[in-house]
Amino acid sequence: MEKLKHYLAMDMGAESGRGMMGTLIDGKLELHEVHRFQTGATSIPTMYDHTAKKPGRSDRSYVWDFVRFWSDVKVSIQKASKKVSLSSIGVDTWGVDFALLDENGLLLSTPFHYRDTRTDGMMEKAFERMPRKEIYEITGIQFMQLNTLYQLLSMVLQDDSLLRITDKLLMVPDLLNYWLTGKAVAEFTDATTTQIFDTRKGEWSQKIIAAMGFSECIFPEVVMPGTVLGPLRASLSEELGADFQVIAPPTHDTASAVAAVPAKNDDYIWISSGTWSIVGMNSPEPIINEFSYEHNLTNEGGARGDYRFSKNVMGLWLVQQCRRKWKKEGNDFTYSELTDLARKAPAFYTLIDPDYSGFLKVGDMVEQIHAYCQLTDQPIPQNHGEVIRAILQGLALRYRFVIERLERVSGRHVTNIHIVGGGTKNTLLNQFTADATGKKVITGPIEATATGNLITQAIAVGDVINWQEGVSVICNSFEINVYHPKNMVAWDKAYMRFKDNMKKVTLAF
């Protein structure tokens, strides 16, 4: 009888985190959630003087409570270890955010949230130090004010005292790996999200670091996905009663999610659907040229040392924020209930572009949607269903817009779209995506990020031979669903309206 192999994925997103245990048996991967906890932004007051009008300063900041998250990581390990003997653990999170450590390895401050206002105006400040195009030529990364580059530059321009005592900068998944093992390194896929990484050379960009006034010595060694970081710290092993290897999976959650696409070749478009929607295709090398620069397309690291040629779309963040507002007003809808309301709402009444700049910040999303409708001379949605349908239709149309540009610059035309991640549960959005793009949509696995994380661990410890076998495991393990395009004439007309609206507003990225 085949011996069971067990691994733990710490999969942390913008809304929640969880410990997902994977069990490998007879060529299949079985998943079991051992612990779930809330993440999300926490606002803390600051003592900044508004009259000073220094860039990025406010009377409150949005941060991540990583001390609490660390407690939940340990709870996840304890719960899993009481059930089985784990072979390994791997951590994945969102990109761009980072932590600073002093020379003793102590956390200097709570990591900032990428939606904090300290990056306002920072892109323009960066371009004064290095031309915009040169930054793109080096990194191949899309310009978003939330990128690590602009977060760190805001600290330089504020003469933040923390930088004077910083010994290491660690991206947030690397922080957790450091706490687990004592090894301070940067994993490749997350390092590429910083816009400080030279994608052609495969190392931190000395040119960007020098131009921005960053300290070169704070950037750690970069390791590839699948690197065995080592065992748990001895003190932690004793505290938790656990002993296993720590693996660096693709620590950027999208890279782990894309690794879980159940396809045996790269002839497809993928969409990682969640708080963010990332739309892309895989490429063995970064695609950096005039057209990719013009359309702000990005090249982030992939699980196999390749690149995810892609574009961020605001994603289900808009739905999440609307739901949060309505809950405060006493309407505690589930996501399924909101989707059912949208299904009953009239088609194409209002078209929302999810990448409108006003939708990026934390705030009253319904109010922002009303403002967008006024700006684009559209009727304002009158009820919950109309609001959600406007968002979902807009997401599908934005997907089409991005896919057209990816296909043009890559010279590849594909007929299939693979959607992975929690957003696959929204069957209405899946159908809208097929309708808007005219392509077959294949959805699943839902738990793609944890799956990609776990398969990487299994390969790293030798329980799965390679990625070819890993894809076979994924195909054997999870249900997939297929959606075919319908009513394309109506969607083509809606797409023309959508593009007309785009000309009237400012995009976030």
Please indicate, yes or no, whether residues 158 and 218 belong to a single structural domain of this protein.
Answer: yes
Report yes or no on 477 lying in a domain. Answer: yes
How far apart, in whole angstroms, are the C-alpha atoms of residue 53 and residue 41? 24
Return all residues near 6 (Cβ < 8 A) that are at least 6 apart.
21, 22, 23, 24, 80, 84, 85, 86, 87
**Angle CA(4)–CA(9)–CA(12) in degrees, nearest 5?**
160
Average pLDDT of the segment spanning 154-176 = 97
pLDDT band at 57 (very low <50, low <70, confident <90, very high): low
**End-to-end CA, the chain:** 53
Backbone angles phi, psi at 16, to 5 degrees: -150, 165
Which two tokens mark 187?
């994993």
DSSP code at position 220 = P
Please indicate, yes or no, whether residues 175 and 295 belong to a single structural domain of this protein.
Answer: no
How far apart, in whole angstroms, are the C-alpha atoms of residue 175 and residue 181? 10
How far apart, in whole angstroms, are the C-alpha atoms of residue 37 and residue 475? 29
Which position has the token pair 């009513």? 487
Mean pLDDT, the chain, whole residue set: 95
Backbone angles phi, psi at 111, to 5 degrees: -55, 135
Q: So what's the pLDDT on residue 47?
A: 64
Report yes or no on 402 lying in a domain. Answer: no
Average pLDDT of the segment spanning 340-345 = 98
CA dihedral 8, 173, 256, 395 (to 10 degrees): 120
Please indicate, yes or no, whether residues 149 and 242 belong to a single structural domain of this protein.
Answer: yes
Average pLDDT of the segment spanning 93-114 = 97
Please indicate, yes or no, whether residues 38 and 152 belong to a single structural domain of this protein.
Answer: yes
pLDDT value at 2 more than 80: no
**Angle CA(365)–CA(142)–CA(160) in degrees, nearest 5?**
80
Q: So what's the pLDDT on residue 481?
A: 95
Please indicate, yes or no, whether residues 280 and 144 belong to a single structural domain of this protein.
Answer: no
Is the separation of the CB atoms in 388 and 341 below 8 Å? Answer: yes
Report yes or no on 22 lying in a domain. Answer: yes
Short-list 122, 103, 467, CA closest to 282: 467
Which position has the token pair 């797409």? 495
**Amino acid at site 486:** K
pLDDT value at 352 more than 60: yes
Please indicate, yes or no, whether residues 305 and 331 belong to a single structural domain of this protein.
Answer: no
Average pLDDT of the segment spanning 290-312 = 96
Please indicate, yes or no, whether residues 332 and 304 belong to a single structural domain of this protein.
Answer: no
Report yes or no on 404 lying in a domain. Answer: no
Report yes or no on 274 lying in a domain. Answer: yes
Catalytic residue among 11, 116, 190, 253: 253
Return all residues near 131 (Cβ < 8 A) that are at least 6 apart.
none
Please indicate, yes or no, whether residues 380 and 437 belong to a single structural domain of this protein.
Answer: no
pLDDT band at 264 (very low <50, low <70, confident <90, very high): confident
Please indicate, yes or no, whether residues 303 and 365 belong to a single structural domain of this protein.
Answer: no
Please indicate, yes or no, whether residues 180 and 258 belong to a single structural domain of this protein.
Answer: no
Report yes or no on 407 lying in a domain. Answer: no
pLDDT value at 58 more than 70: no
17 compared with 265, residue with greater pLDDT: 17
Short-list 88, 106, 113, 261, CA closest to 175: 106
86 compared with 504, residue with greater pLDDT: 86
207 compared with 264, residue with greater pLDDT: 207
Q: What is the CATH number of the domain that holds 464?
A: 3.30.420.40
Q: So what's the pLDDT on residue 138?
A: 98
Average pLDDT of the segment spanning 64-90 = 97
- Among 253, 281, 297, which residue terminates a domain? 253
pLDDT band at 505 (very low <50, low <70, confident <90, very high): confident
Residues 366-419: pLDDT tens digits?
A: 999 999 999 999 999 999 999 999 999 999 999 999 999 999 999 999 999 999
Share of the chain residues as helix, strand and coil, in percent rounded to the nearest 5? 45, 20, 35
Q: So what's the pLDDT on residue 233?
A: 97
Identify whether 253 is a catalytic site residue.
Answer: yes
pLDDT band at 1 (very low <50, low <70, confident <90, very high): very low
How far apart, in whole angstroms, are the C-alpha atoms of residue 56 and residue 121? 7
Report yes or no on 408 lying in a domain. Answer: no
Please indicate, yes or no, whether residues 359 and 428 belong to a single structural domain of this protein.
Answer: no
> Which alpha helices (H) appear in 84-171, and where do they start and end?
122-129, 132-139, 148-157
Average pLDDT of the segment spanning 161-167 = 97
Average pLDDT of the segment spanning 23-46 = 94
Please indicate, yes or no, whether residues 135 and 281 belong to a single structural domain of this protein.
Answer: no
What is the number of domains present in the chain? 3
200 three-state secondary structure: coil
Backbone angles phi, psi at 81, to 5 degrees: -70, -25
pLDDT band at 56 (very low <50, low <70, confident <90, very high): very low
How far apart, in whole angstroms, are the C-alpha atoms of residue 409 and residue 292? 7
pLDDT value at 53 more than 60: no
How far apart, in whole angstroms, are the C-alpha atoms of residue 421 and residue 450? 9
For 147, the domain range is 5-253
- Among 253, 273, 293, which residue terminates a domain? 253
pLDDT band at 198 (very low <50, low <70, confident <90, very high): very high
Average pLDDT of the segment spanning 9-30 = 95
Report yes or no on 339 lying in a domain. Answer: yes
For 113, what's the count of Cα atoms within 13 Å in the CB-facing half-sphere?
21
Q: So what's the pLDDT on residue 344?
A: 98
Short-list 20, 467, 8, CA closest to 260: 467
Strands (E), 262-390: 269-273, 277-283, 298-301, 307-313
Average pLDDT of the segment spanning 283-299 = 96
Is the separation of the CB atoms in 262 and 420 below 8 Å? Answer: no
